[in-house]
Amino acid sequence: MAQRIILPGATVNGQPATLGVMGGGQLGRMFVQAAQRMGYFTAVLDPDVSSPAGLLSHHHIQRDYLDQQGLAQLMQRCAAITTEFENVPAPALLTLGAQRPVAPAADAVAIAQDRAKEKAHFMRCGVPVAPHAVIETAEQLAAVTEDLLPGILKTSRLGYDGKGQVRVRTQADLLTAWDDLKRVPCVLEKMLPLKSECSVIVARGWDGKMVNFPVQRNLHRNGILAVTEVYEGNLPDALAQQAVMATRSVAEGLQYVGVLCVEFFLLEDDTLVVNEMAPRPHNSGHYTLDACDQSQFDLQVKTLAGLPLVQPQAYCPSIMLNLLGDVWQRDWGRTKLDSDPDTCPPWDRVLALPGTHLHLYGKLKASKGRKMGHLNITGRSAEAVRATALEAARILGIDPF
């Protein structure tokens, strides 16, 4: 459905202009905060009564993503609808898209939900990918050649943060891994000599105009993003430009509307291959909340509402540290007179450091590996920012670098 401009503070059919989001996690929460700051009402569809976004939104529809009554309520309340994570069922977005502008569209999300379709799309766009094979049958498994090993076997669907992935070195490993993954459709990717990882976030409007943030250099631990560094020279100019152009090509090929992140591997020979895409704001773009004149969530609101897109500008070097539930599991040695003596990290010490910006997601329970928040660090130079990040990490007892 075509989109018309939805102005902040306007009324639509006699009701305050309301933007909806499928999913109530931290990305939905930050979208809600950006939309409300601009004057929109918000509605969240998420079955969790204590979802981070639902707790802040004007309307929280506590229904499953495929519940027809829930989808009807969301359509009734909202002028336009987006999603906060790629595993929202594409059929739900298709249902919503028949009645309301939805960005990103169901067909783009469906491609991002399937690694085989995703790889095919990258190749159609002329973006280099790692050597790989699609494995959906025993015959395809048997046809895998030795030149793809060692590799990583990844489920085609529902994998994230390292889940649904198994490293394999031999044909026997591959057979065992496919059995362990219940013989669901998979993609086997050849393991390549990696130098580093990076990502690019673009925003594309209904009119086809596209803007992008600077290239982000990323470090993962156990399949989960640990650190994002953004400063001039963090990647050679030619490679940075190649990554931006590849990301724009992927978005253009999808006729995408919304915020899109594409992740890349930088190989030891200084070439880039694409890893995957996320049809939504991304963990690696959280630094934009404090280091740029517009955040990725501001652009998510603007693309959805049909507002003009202006190229975002980064003010300064920055580093983002991901804060997992592991940090809350430590005994911080407080006295029993302190509040939450065993669980609350020493934020007072962290926030005493220059250029620190704490973002917690309002999740009520911390568990190992769960994303609870992030810490943005800004400063005048990359060296100063990194020194502060190292000190904050030392205080929190983590080793992200």
Closest by CA position to 154, among listed 132, 127, 171:
132
- Tell me how long the chain is: 401
Residue 152 near residue 165, CB atoms below 8 Å = yes
Kindly state the average pLDDT of the residues 120-149.
95
Confidence band for 341, pLDDT divided at 50, 70 and 90: very low
Q: What one-character-per-residue DSSP string does 35-47 give?
A: HHHTT-EEEEE-S
pLDDT of residue 400: 86
Question: Which residue type, as a one-letter code, is found at position 120?
Answer: A
338, pLDDT greater than 70: no
CATH topology (fold) of 11-102: Rossmann fold (3.40.50)
| Averaged pLDDT, 49-73 | 97
- Tell me if domain 11-102 and domain 131-190 are identical in fold: no
Phi and psi (nearest 5°) for 206? -65, -25
The residues near 107 (Cβ < 8 Å, ≥ 6 apart) are: 90, 254
Contacts of 354 (CB under 8 A, 6+ apart): 379, 384, 388
Write the pLDDT tens digit of every residue in 71-119: 999 999 999 999 998 888 989 999 999 999 999 999 999 999 999 999 9
Instruction: Collect all residues with Cβ–Cβ distance below 8 Å to 82 and sequence separation of at least 6.
Output: 19, 20, 21, 22, 31, 102, 103, 104, 258, 280, 300, 304
pLDDT recorded at residue 332: 78
* Residue 163 confidence (pLDDT): 73
Instruction: Give the lowest-confidence range in 169-173, 247-251, 288-292.
Output: 169-173
In the three-class reduction of DSSP (H, G, I as helix; E, B as strand; rest coil), residue 326 is classed as helix
What ranges do the domains of the chain cover? 11-102, 131-190, 194-396
pLDDT at 223: 85
Fold of 131-190: Dna Ligase; domain 1 (3.30.1490)
- Calpha distance 290→154 (Å, rounded): 34
**pLDDT for 4:** 84
Rounded Cα–Cα distance for residues 288 and 390 (Å): 20
* Average pLDDT in the chain: 93
Using CA atoms, how far residue 261 sits from 38, 112, 250, 279, 346, in Å, is 23, 11, 10, 7, 32
* H or E element that contains 298: helix 296-305
CATH 3.30.470.20 fits 194-396, yes or no: yes
Grouping H, G, I as helix, E, B as strand and the rest as coil, residue 329 is helix
Rounded to whole angstroms, the Cα distance separating 284 from 135 reads 30
169 in Cβ contact with 163 (< 8 Å): no
pLDDT value for 233: 87
The sign of the dihedral angle between the CA atoms of 333, 336, 337, 343 is positive
Q: Provide the H-helix boundaries in 229-287.
A: 237-254
- The number of beta carbons lying within 10 Å of the beta carbon of residue 295 is 23
pLDDT score recorded for residue 331: 78
Chain segment 12-27, per-residue pLDDT in tens: 888 899 999 999 999 9
Q: Percentage of the chain surpassing pLDDT 90?
A: 87
pLDDT surpasses 60 at 334 = no
Write down the pTM of the prediction.
Answer: 0.94
Cα–Cα distance for residue pair 300/35, rounded to 1 Å: 9
Phi then psi for residue 291, to 5 deg, are -110, -5
- List, for residues 198-227, the tens digit of each pLDDT value: 999 999 999 999 999 999 999 999 889 999
Can you tell me the mean pLDDT for 125-131?
96
CA separation for the pair 263, 86 (Å, rounded): 15
Q: Count Cα atoms within 13 angstroms, Cβ side, for 104.
A: 32
Which pLDDT score, from 0 to 100, does residue 87 have? Answer: 85
